[in-house]
Amino acid sequence: MNKDSKIYVAGHRGLVGSAILRALEKQGYTNLIYRTSSELDLRNRDAVNNFFKEQHIDYVFLAAAKVGGIAANNDFPADFIRDNLLIQTNVIDSAYVNGVKKLLFLGSTCIYPKFAPQPLKEEYLLTGELEPTNEPYAIAKIAGIKMCESYNRQYGSTFISAMPTNMYGPNDNFDLKTSHVLPALVRKIHEAKENGSATVEIWGTGTPKREFLHSDDLADACIFLMNNYEGNEIVNVGVGEDIAIKDLALMIKDIVGFQGELVFNSSVPDGTPRKLVDTTKINGLGWKASIPLEEGIRAVYEDYRSSLAVR
């Protein structure tokens, strides 16, 4: 990408999209465009195609998606598969039809089989059954990957796909009904401290392991891949280390300064037992994550506290 290339960030208000936008601005890219969902409904095929036709876009970061944790995926499976299929299909096809030079599609490591060997290698895609709690979302993301691959094969386009591990960072979702595990724990433990509670209930047994990547690291990786990678295969983006949910909760408890007890509710499903990605491929290309987990969580907690102060 040139510094004046016309770059569209789809989903610029979300956790990942906002990080990509910040990183592009920081690196000196000057011709950035974006639209809110009220300005452009990416589920509307005609609206999306007209937008691409009018804007003459060079590069696309497709970070727009309907996302959520176990509870949201369980409660709204139809919304997750429908909205994500519509968003991806409209953006990817319009990018091809309107001559976009390159597109980066952001998937998720939930595309991998529930019991795939650890760490998760890119070639494990479609080798086993998915985790049932987020299967509709995962199937939509797999469809996006295969759509990019298929357009490359049939039309000679340059559409690449990155698979980030669990994300956290500025502009995260702290709604307990729809958030992922890390921001949910930050909010629950903070509120327990503020309310003087003796305990905090944590969903699940605490034994599953998860890997957490700061959104600023992912944004840096996405720009790196856009500038340095043109393969048809997916690329994992992660830190290469994971942590048990129990240990994550204890780390957040320490950062927040909560003095009470953590109580694990084993009647709530754990989800996938472990989800660590193999980062050999992207590390070999010359990129590596740089933000330590504890440092990242401390920054997120400060942002969360600041957001509460201005309400």
Name the active-site residue from 29, 34, 137, 301.
137
Q: Is 151 a catalytic residue?
A: no
Residues 301 and 27: their CA atoms lie apart, in Å, by 26
Q: Is 156 annotated as ligand-binding?
A: no
Q: Is 11 annotated as ligand-binding?
A: yes
Q: Is 277 annotated as ligand-binding?
A: no
Buried b (16+ CB within 10 A) or exposed e, 104-126: bbbbbbbbbbbebebbbbbebbe
What is the pairing mode between strands 212-214 and 102-106?
Answer: unpaired
Amino acid, res. 246 = K
Q: Is 107 annotated as ligand-binding?
A: yes
225 neighbors 160 (Cβ within 8 angstroms): yes
Q: Is 108 annotated as ligand-binding?
A: yes
Q: Is 16 annotated as ligand-binding?
A: yes
Q: Tell which phi-psi region holds residue 303, choosing left (phi > 0), alpha (psi between -120 and 50) or beta.
A: alpha
Q: Is 35 annotated as ligand-binding?
A: no
Q: Is 12 annotated as ligand-binding?
A: yes
Q: Is 101 annotated as ligand-binding?
A: no
Residues 254 and 197: their CA atoms lie apart, in Å, by 15
Residue 168 dihedral angles phi and psi, to the nearest 5°: -155, 160
Q: How many residues appear in the chain?
A: 311
Name the token pair of 239. Answer: 């830190």
- Give the residue from 102, 96, 65 showing the smallest Cα distance to 225: 102
Amino acid, res. 76 = F
Torsion of the alpha carbons at 123, 129, 130 and 131, rounded to the nearest 10: -130
Q: Is 14 annotated as ligand-binding?
A: yes
Q: Is 109 annotated as ligand-binding?
A: yes
Write the DSSP assignment of 60-80 as a string of letters: EEE-------HHHHHH-HHHH
Q: Which residues are catalytic?
A: 137
Binding-site positions read 11-17, 106-109, 141, 180, 188, 203, 210, 270
Binding-site positions for substrate read 188, 203, 210, 270
Binding-site positions for NADP(+) read 11-17, 106-109, 141, 180
